[in-house]
Structure 1
């Protein structure tokens, strides 16, 4: 296994962890996006309100797409694994 394979493996692990964290904290992330949008809108005196609202919506959608939502019971929202072949 080469250096690039190791780096790709680590990158995939980090992406998975980030997705899990984003899923667990998506409500908090959305609140932060709303607060940031409000602060920017206030700083620009409402001049770019529509653009800010659009950008905030897109940021929330991106978090939603990236996040692994926890399922009831603590399991993460991932694609189901294929069935294992029976052992002899």
Structure 2
């Protein structure tokens, strides 16, 4: 299975209406916030704060796509 196959399967999965509904739920919002906060904090520590603004912008963009807020 090549990268194109994996990408297509992931896209098909994310296009499913049940998956879309689950990703827009309040529970998904809570889980995603915790994960995104943890990843952003780790990235900021690794970069020594040098890219805090870019990391926060990326976190906000990701958050717009998961959950209900």
Normalization by structure 1: what TM-score?
A: 0.53
Change (3 A) 1:14 1:46: same
Normalization by structure 2: what TM-score?
A: 0.65
Given candidates 44, 48, 54, the residue that maps to 1:45 is: 48
- What are the Cα deviations for residues 19-66 of structure 1, in whole angstroms up to 9, with x where unaligned? 2222232111111011101001100100100000011001101224xx
Root mean square deviation of aligned Cα: 2.5
- If you compute each CA radius of gyration, which structure gives the higher value, 1 or 2? 1
Please identify, of 15-24 and 34-43, the stretch whose mean Cα deviation from structure 2 is larger. Answer: 15-24
- Asked which structure has the greater RCO (Cα within 8 Å, sep 6+), the reply is 2
Identify unmatched segments of 5+ residues in structure 2. Answer: 1-11
